[in-house]
């Protein structure tokens, strides 16, 4: 074949190889092209995975030699054969000439004789894989066929590299989807289907949640810091039709004003100094789901204008971009501030307030729903014990819950959670048999004070002496009985073994024979 024909062959072959983004379709076009020049009945693109070790099929066209996705395990001898042929185009005009081809044929059930031409694909001293052209007869391929096939080495190598990268992208994409499904389920599990107090102090709030959750209306959560606005936002999202979509949270007061646009709307590469790549903003990430804007009252005036535009037009542009991006996002905003007063002071836009104030929902402070405190304490004890990986579950001391209910709780549920965690830490680092006393909130005002000295006739002030006196009283009351519904352990809310250990430590007799 003249040199000019080589150029034409290369040009037409490259067009066939690169004619489709789908590597299977590209190989089909390539097979049709090669059949003009050689007795090709099948073409496959494979690579060696040394970890198996084995041949992995990327794509094929023609008779079913090795369907895409097939893996054929190889012996050490067969792997060594492949490694000995890396720098050449191999001709195998008899089955016994190529042990790897024999293994593949046996794997797919081809019993007839065949011949093949195998082009090894290399780039920068890295072996990518092979392109094998086959026919179901012996002696079909010549050195001229091998030379022509080698002319297409570079386009085949590019196609193989792209195909492998595409497979890796698909694999990582599937892993990402799986991780996303797992994390979404885990977040849902952690946030819980049950909200503590939904049947008592939060009954009216949860009734409103059930009303608004199925809709796409904006919700404005109002209440003091620490009342659990994020928990309610979670409940609205996971009880809505968007529950399978993302739930993205933004603390508007925690992002510097200079970065706020980039965080909310994203930016294009080169939009500003340090913008080294394109970045998707929170609105874009929340597409199809819910965006929770916490501390909306801290949003600067300029950002309020841009947020208002998104709410009005349902689209935005990245910083440095000109292409509008649709925003299918439900907004849940939250604040501890009085937005109506901020509107009168011209620190919050009236039109934005009207947009957000579609369905206001006020969450009561903890001091107005103290009946929920025992359930919250038990929930936090369970939660913190699990987080700290404690080998036991501490319990509140008798009278401790009543003391907690007398506290004013300026920090609301968050303050209660912190106090429970501190008490568990003290308990873990001290005597684990001692129940949780919550001494720091013992005063009715909820202030931490040094206890005043008691007169001698009022009893001992030493903690062990106080506990000893109380346990002795319980033993007398129960007649020394430890277990059972009317036993001392049940009345104290602790495990019988823990109580026995404590009684022995303090030298207090127990058992029916002791009383």
pLDDT in tens, 172-214: 887 776 666 666 555 555 555 568 877 788 989 999 999 999 9
Residue 257 placed within a domain: yes
The predicted model gives 127-149 an average pLDDT of: 87
- The answer to whether residues 154 and 225 belong to one domain is no
Q: Specify whether the CB–CB gap between 270 and 311 falls below 8 A.
A: no
- Compute φ and ψ for 290, nearest 5 degrees: -125, 140
- The answer to whether residues 426 and 456 belong to one domain is no
Residue 104 placed within a domain: yes
Which helix (DSSP H) or strand (DSSP E) does residue 219 occupy? Answer: strand 219-222
Q: Check which CATH number belongs to the domain holding 466 and give it.
A: 1.10.10
pLDDT in tens, 220-271: 999 999 999 999 999 999 899 998 889 999 999 889 888 888 999 999 888 8
- Give the SS3 label for residue 64: coil
- The answer to whether residues 373 and 332 belong to one domain is no
- The answer to whether residues 32 and 156 belong to one domain is yes
Residue 507 placed within a domain: yes
Measured CA to CA, the distance from residue 354 to residue 376 in angstroms comes to: 35
Q: Which residues of 27-50 are buried (b: 16+ CB within 10 A; e: fewer)?
A: bbbbbebbeebbbbbbbbbbbbee
- The answer to whether residues 61 and 130 belong to one domain is yes
pLDDT at 444: 47
pLDDT at 180: 67
pLDDT at 205: 93
- The answer to whether residues 214 and 241 belong to one domain is yes
Indicate the residue among 364, 390, 418 that finishes a domain: 364
pLDDT in tens, 391-427: 888 899 888 888 899 899 999 999 999 999 999 998 8
pLDDT at 458: 46
DSSP 8-state assignment for residue 453: P
Residue with tokens 């349902």: 314
pLDDT at 330: 95
Residue 187 placed within a domain: no
Measured CA to CA, the distance from residue 271 to residue 319 in angstroms comes to: 6
- The answer to whether residues 372 and 283 belong to one domain is no
457 vs 112, residue with greater confidence: 112
pTM: predicted TM-score of the whole model, two decimal places: 0.57
Q: Check which CATH number belongs to the domain holding 242 and give it.
A: 3.40.50.300
Residue with tokens 């992002």: 255
301 vs 460, residue with greater confidence: 301
pLDDT in tens, 56-70: 888 888 876 666 667
pLDDT in tens, 319-377: 988 888 988 999 999 999 999 999 999 999 999 999 999 999 999 999 999 989 998 99
> Which segments of 50-179 are extended strands (E)?
54-62, 71-73, 89-92, 115-123, 126-135
pLDDT in tens, 467-504: 878 888 888 778 788 887 677 877 777 777 778 878 87
Residue 173 placed within a domain: no
- The answer to whether residues 258 and 324 belong to one domain is yes
User: Is the pLDDT score of 146 beyond 80?
Assistant: yes
pLDDT at 363: 95
The predicted model gives 275-284 an average pLDDT of: 86
pLDDT at 365: 94
- The answer to whether residues 102 and 226 belong to one domain is no
- The answer to whether residues 329 and 444 belong to one domain is no
pLDDT at 23: 87
- The answer to whether residues 352 and 389 belong to one domain is no
Indicate the residue among 413, 428, 450 that finishes a domain: 450
Looking at the structure of the chain, the number of domains it has is 4
Q: Check which CATH number belongs to the domain holding 43 and give it.
A: 3.30.450.40
The residue segments making up the domain with residue 224 are 199-364
pLDDT in tens, 289-301: 999 999 999 999 8
The tokens of 359 are what? Answer: 């369905």
Residue 62 placed within a domain: yes
- The answer to whether residues 289 and 208 belong to one domain is yes
Measured CA to CA, the distance from residue 15 to residue 26 in angstroms comes to: 9
Residue 185 placed within a domain: no
**Of the candidates 31, 25, 1, which has an alpha carbon nearest to the alpha carbon of residue 13?**
31
In degrees, rounded to 5, the angle at the alpha carbon of residue 248 between the alpha carbons of residues 173 and 311 is 115
Indicate the residue among 345, 364, 383 that finishes a domain: 364
Whether a cis peptide bond, with omega within 30° of 0, leads into 53 is: yes
pLDDT at 446: 37
Residue with tokens 């649709």: 326
pLDDT at 454: 40
Q: How many residues does the chain have?
A: 515
The tokens of 313 are what? Answer: 């037009």
pLDDT in tens, 2-49: 444 888 899 999 999 888 888 888 899 999 999 999 998 889 888 888
């Amino acid at each position: 074949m003249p040199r000019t024909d080589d150029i034409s062959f290369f040009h037409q072959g490259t067009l066939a190889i690169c004619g489709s983004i789908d590597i299977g379709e590209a190989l089909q076009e390539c097979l049709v092209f090669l059949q003009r020049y050689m007795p090709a009945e099948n073409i496959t693109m494979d690579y060696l995975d040394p970890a198996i070790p084995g041949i992995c099929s990327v794509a094929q066209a023609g008779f079913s030699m090795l369907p895409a996705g097939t893996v054929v395990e190889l012996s050490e001898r067969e792997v060594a054969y492949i490694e000995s042929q890396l720098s050449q185009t191999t001709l195998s005009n008899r089955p016994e000439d190529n042990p790897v081809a024999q293994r593949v044929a046996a794997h797919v059930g081809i019993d007839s004789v065949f011949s093949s031409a195998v082009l090894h694909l290399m780039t920068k001293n890295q072996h990518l894989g092979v392109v094998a052209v086959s026919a179901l007869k012996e002696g079909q391929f010549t050195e001229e066929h091998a030379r022509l096939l080698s002319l297409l080495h570079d386009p085949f190598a590019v196609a193989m590299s792209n195909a492998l990268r595409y497979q890796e992208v698909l694999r990582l994409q599937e892993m990402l989807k799986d991780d996303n499904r797992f994390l979404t389920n885990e977040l849902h599990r952690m946030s819980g289907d049950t909200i503590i107090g939904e049947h008592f102090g939060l009954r009216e709030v949860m009734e409103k949640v059930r009303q608004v959750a199925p809709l796409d209306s904006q919700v404005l959560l109002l209440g003091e810091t620490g009342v659990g606005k994020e928990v309610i936002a979670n409940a609205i999202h996971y009880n809505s039709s968007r529950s399978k979509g993302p739930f993205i949270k933004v603390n508007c007061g925690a992002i510097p004003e200079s970065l706020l646009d980039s965080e909310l709307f994203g930016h294009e590469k080169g939009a500003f100094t340090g913008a080294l790549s394109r970045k998707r903003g929170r609105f874009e990430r929340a597409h199809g789901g819910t965006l929770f804007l916490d501390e909306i009252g801290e949003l600067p005036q300029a950002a309020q204008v841009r947020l208002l535009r998104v709410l009005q037009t349902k689209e935005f542009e990245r910083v440095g971009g000109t292409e509008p991006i649709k925003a299918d996002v439900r907004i849940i905003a939250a604040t501890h501030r009085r937005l109506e007063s901020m509107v009168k002071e011209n620190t919050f836009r009236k039109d934005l307030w009207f947009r957000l104030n579609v369905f206001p929902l006020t969450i009561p402070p903890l001091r107005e729903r103290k009946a929920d405190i025992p359930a919250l304490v038990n929930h936090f004890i369970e939660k913190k014990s699990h987080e700290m990986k404690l080998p036991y579950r501490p319990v509140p001391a008798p009278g401790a819950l009543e003391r907690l209910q007398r506290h004013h709780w300026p920090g609301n549920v968050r303050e209660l959670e912190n106090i429970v965690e501190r008490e568990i830490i003290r308990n873990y680092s001290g005597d684990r048999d001692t129940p949780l006393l919550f001494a720091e909130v013992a005063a009715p005002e909820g202030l931490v004070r040094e206890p005043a000295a008691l007169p001698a006739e009022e009893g001992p002030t030493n903690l062990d002496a106080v506990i000893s006196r109380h346990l002795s009283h319980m033993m007398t009351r129960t007649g020394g009985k430890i277990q059972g519904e009317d036993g001392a352990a049940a009345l104290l809310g602790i495990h019988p073994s823990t109580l026995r250990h404590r009684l022995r430590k303090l030298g207090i007799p127990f058992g029916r024979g002791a009383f």
